[in-house]
Amino acid sequence: AQSVAQPEDQVNVAEGNPLTVKCTYSVSGNPYLFWYVQYPNRGLQFLLKYITGDNLVKGSYGFEAEFNKSQTSFHLKKPSALVSDSALYFCAVNDNYGQNFVFGPGTRLSVLP
Amino acid sequence: DAGVIQSPRHEVTEMGQEVTLRCKPISGHDYLFWYRQTMMRGLELLIYFNNNVPIDDSGMPEDRFSAKMPNASFSTLKIQPSEPRDSAVYFCASSFDRYLGNEKLFFGSGTQLSVL
């Protein structure tokens, strides 16, 4: 069975500083990995995905994520955080065999001015 | 396209009443998903459809829950009878066929359900 862990419930970072939101996964076969962001009272929005190829993927709003197969991790990063990045971030995994996206519990990011 | 459209945005009902949530997926998408989000359990997949056919309903909590997709542009999630523990935000999402290279979900804004 596939699963996703986000070890931090909350991440606080000062505006302008780099941010990292952590994600580890477990899946049989090759993983499809995703990051989604949820703003208050909104649905989840796609940020980026890793399917194959370069381990560093770039996505919306200046975010990027690094796929590390040996550590089964897919951490989300941004070089310089903005207050507007404050939101709930979800990591998700999908295997090659179904359409079932399994989401992590979410990490609340607060960027302080 | 207006995106995935869900209605109502908020629903407040009393225990025992029937609740129907509605979803219009993005035109041309052939997968439709219903998720439930709570603080305790996070985001849970309830059921998903492919070309209007239910593929996996193993996440539907019990027989009180049912979902239908009578055509490519409309789906409903019904709870009958509703209970306070059903209170949650219910999201609908749609996507293209994964083999076309569009492996991502488009979410609606959700329905906030409160069962008193």
Q: Which one, of A112, A113, A104, lies nearest residue A21 by Cα?
A: A104
Q: Tell me the shortest Cα–Cα distance from A87 to chain B, in angstroms.
A: 15
Pairing of strands A10-14, A107-112: parallel
pLDDT at position B62 over 70: yes
pLDDT in tens, A14-50: 999 999 999 999 988 788 899 999 998 888 999 999 9
How far is residue A62's CA from residue A77's CA, in Å, rounded to a whole number? 9
Q: What's residue B61's pLDDT? A: 87
B84 preceded by a cis bond (ω within 30 of 0): no
* CB nearest to B103's CB, from A44, A45, A94: A94
Average pLDDT, stretch B98-110?
76
Q: Spell out which residues of chain B touch residue A49, defining contact as CB-CB under 8 Å.
A: 103-104
Instruction: Say which residues have a Cβ less than 8 Å from residue B2's Cβ, sequence separation at least 6.
Output: none
pLDDT at position A99 over 70: no
Query: Is residue B12 very low, low, confident or very high in pLDDT (cuts 50, 70, 90)?
Result: very high
How far is residue B39's CA from residue B3's CA, in Å, rounded to a whole number? 26
Q: Spell out which residues of chain B touch residue A45, defining contact as CB-CB under 8 Å.
A: 107
pLDDT at position B51 over 70: yes
Average pLDDT of every residue of chain A: 91
pLDDT at position A59 over 60: yes
Per DSSP (E only), the strands in chain B are 5-7, 10-13, 19-24, 31-38, 42-50, 53-56, 65-71, 74-79, 88-95, 106-107, 111-115
How far is residue B11's CA from residue A105's CA, in Å, rounded to a whole number? 25
* CB nearest to A99's CB, from B91, B98, B108: B98
Q: What's residue B52's pLDDT? A: 94
Which string of b and e fits A32-63 if b means at least 16 CB within 10 Å? bbbbbbbeeeebbbbbbbbbeeeeebebeeeb
